[in-house]
Amino acid sequence: MIINKIRARNVLKYAELSIDLAERGLIAISGRNESGKSSIGETVCFALFGRTFSIPPDEIEKVVRWGENHCSVTLEFSVEDQRYELARFLDRDGMHSAKLALSGNIENPIARGVGAVADALFAILGFEYEEFVESFYLAQREITTPHPHSQAIKIMAGVAPLEQVAHSLQDEIAEREDLLGEIRAEWESVDQDVQALGIQDGRMPRLEDERHHTSVQIEQVNALVDEINVELDRYAANATQIERARSASGRVGFLRFLVLLLALASGGLWALLTYAGHLPQAELARELLARHVPQWNDQKVLWIGYLAAGLGVLFLLLWIRKAGIRRRIAELTAQGAQLAGVLAQARAIDIEDIPEEEGLATESDMDDETPGEHEDPSMHAPARPDDAEYQAVHGQLDGARSPVRVAQDYCEREAAWLTYVGDRLNAQIAELDIEIDDEESRLQEALNLSEVLNGLTDKREDIEERIACRQRGLELLHGAILHLSNTFNRDVKELVGRLLPLFTDGRYEHLQIDEGLNVRVFSSEKRDFMDLDEVSSGTQRQIMLALRLALSKKLLGRTVKGRQFAFLDEPFAFFDDERTRRALYALTDLGDDISQVWIVAQDFPQNCQVKFDTKIFCERGSNTLTVAG
């Protein structure tokens, strides 16, 4: 950046300030104390950055000249052969505005407004106020070593962007650690919720197995009740049929006996008459037959044989009939035994886990209760027949000898008890269903919470990985910053080593600069390094001036584009004429990168052997200054 023109109104000392400058060479500003020399440098600083070195930012309205209400400044400068025009305005009320445009095209500004202009200038110049006052602009003050941790030095060293990234990483680490703490707290809270559910391993399978077992028992009980009712109806029907069959069997047996007697009598009579007719018994039989049977004769003896044969056949038929009745009775008796088998199954059934009765009161409790209380019959278990009664009934049912009334009474009581058991098991099923539904809900809730825990764990691991990654990045950045800082110190030392002999006439050539930018100088006479407080104040300022110019060159190499100006306000204080001459001569040979050097001094020694390309003389009593190029 090279300054071409300055136009200012009511800025600091000057009501009017107009300076046209040479683009290269030395610019000498001289004059007595309080003649306005430093005001020129502060005007340049105000034009560029909206602030000055001597006036705090919160009192910037003091830039306005005493007695005036507002001020303005226009600065024309060039960067890499491109000219720009920067205008800035300020009043006593703190109203501040700025405008940046290409020279000759002020109506189409590049940026308008203080913030926008500052951003645009940084992109064009490559530095801001802090870097400017630590390098190219030496205000009227004691020349000291720059602060090693200032932003300007960090930018010159190239560590500023790395530190910015490091700060961003540290902020991200802190932010993620806070988030990690929140996630851990949330994880612990959710885990406590999971623990509060009290999920027991295997409880759900146990409940389902118990429900299945109970369902099987209910099916068995209901099936037995149905079988008892069916078999009881069959037993009652069979009992009637058995009674009828037994009566028929008695009648058939009597008739069969009678037919047998008749068959034997007729057969014996036929045999007597046919084969023993000469016997007296045969004669007696003929007489009886003749007397009682009309038209009897011996030819009819054969019919007696036929009668005997027919009666024999009838006897056989009655025998078969009786055998059939016996088989029927046996079948009906066997069917009656099926009821006994069903009752045996009912007696042998293993009914487990029947819930204990609720609401059952003792006899004394029943006496104490008022009528109508706890009268739910379903709450009382019906009496089940005891084993002795079962054995008696079972034995009678085996032979179908049990009266229907006795069997019916027993079966009704057994079925009532089984029905009660089924009801209790159904109640247990209902309770199990509630428990299963509740357990399913709790398991689903636990599953949902487990998914939340898994998600939180994944988040935590991801954040921990991100933190670890950023911590590794910080380690790498710190290593890079240390490397750049060491390189910066070495480069500055080399630059100062080239400039210092020019300022000290070769008496001091080498410097030691530590990480804190503390300086020690090598004395050729003493052949040793010396602290700054061991040399004269003039030599100290020569060394610091060389260090300042070295930092400027370092900044040029780091961020600044094109040639640059340097403004040195009273750099030769405590210099004798000879030192001033050497310093001026050294400033003419700074290189092409710092090609415009402003030097402020009360006066310059005679016979400097340097050419001032622009001379500016300030008078104490004048509030206007005009310098033509």
Measured distance CA(622)–CA(85) in Å, rounded: 27
Q: Is residue 224 part of a domain?
A: no
Which uninterrupted H or E stretch holds 86? strand 82-91
Q: Is residue 290 part of a domain?
A: no
> Is the Cβ–Cβ distance between 397 and 329 less than 8 Å?
no
Q: Is residue 13 part of a domain?
A: yes
Angle at which helices 301-348 and 387-398 cross, to 10°: 150
pLDDT for res 188: 92
pLDDT for res 150: 53
Of 519, 527, 575, the residue nearest 548 (C-alpha): 519
Q: Is residue 351 part of a domain?
A: no
Pull the structure tokens for residue 558: 């780091």
> Is the Cβ–Cβ distance between 42 and 618 less than 8 Å?
no
Residue carrying structure tokens 């801001």: 128
> Is the Cβ–Cβ distance between 413 and 384 less than 8 Å?
yes
Q: Is residue 222 part of a domain?
A: no
pLDDT for res 560: 66
Q: Which of 38-42, 242-246, 293-297 has the highest mean pLDDT?
A: 38-42
Any idea which of 254-268, 356-370, 459-473 has the lowest mean pLDDT? 356-370
Which amino acid is it at 18?
Answer: S
Strand 624-627 and strand 14-20: pairing?
parallel
Give the CATH number, domain containing residue 607: 3.40.50.300
Measured distance CA(50)–CA(48) in Å, rounded: 6
Measured distance CA(415)–CA(342) in Å, rounded: 11
The tally of domains found in the chain comes to: 1
Measured distance CA(21)–CA(5) in Å, rounded: 6
Measured distance CA(118)–CA(115) in Å, rounded: 5
Instruction: Quickly state the pLDDT bin for 344 (edges 50, 70, 90).
Output: confident
Measured distance CA(521)–CA(611) in Å, rounded: 31
Q: Is residue 595 part of a domain?
A: yes
What residue numbers bound the domain in which 567 lies? 2-157+505-627
pLDDT for res 554: 67
214 or 358: which leads in pLDDT: 214
pLDDT for res 232: 82
What value does the mean pLDDT take over residues 393-411?
79
Measured distance CA(322)–CA(210) in Å, rounded: 56
On whether the pTM is more than 0.75, the answer is no
Pull the structure tokens for residue 426: 């159904």
pLDDT for res 333: 75
pLDDT for res 532: 66
CA distance readout (Å), 117 to 47, 84, 107, 258: 11, 12, 15, 147
Digit-coded pLDDT (tens) for 464-500: 999 999 999 999 998 988 888 777 777 777 777 777 7
SS3 297: coil
What value does the mean pLDDT take over residues 151-160?
66
pLDDT for res 19: 93
Q: Is residue 280 part of a domain?
A: no
Q: Is residue 537 part of a domain?
A: yes
Instruction: Quickly state the pLDDT bin for 392 (edges 50, 70, 90).
Output: confident
Digit-coded pLDDT (tens) for 80-139: 889 999 999 999 988 999 999 998 888 889 999 999 999 999 989 888 888 888 777 887
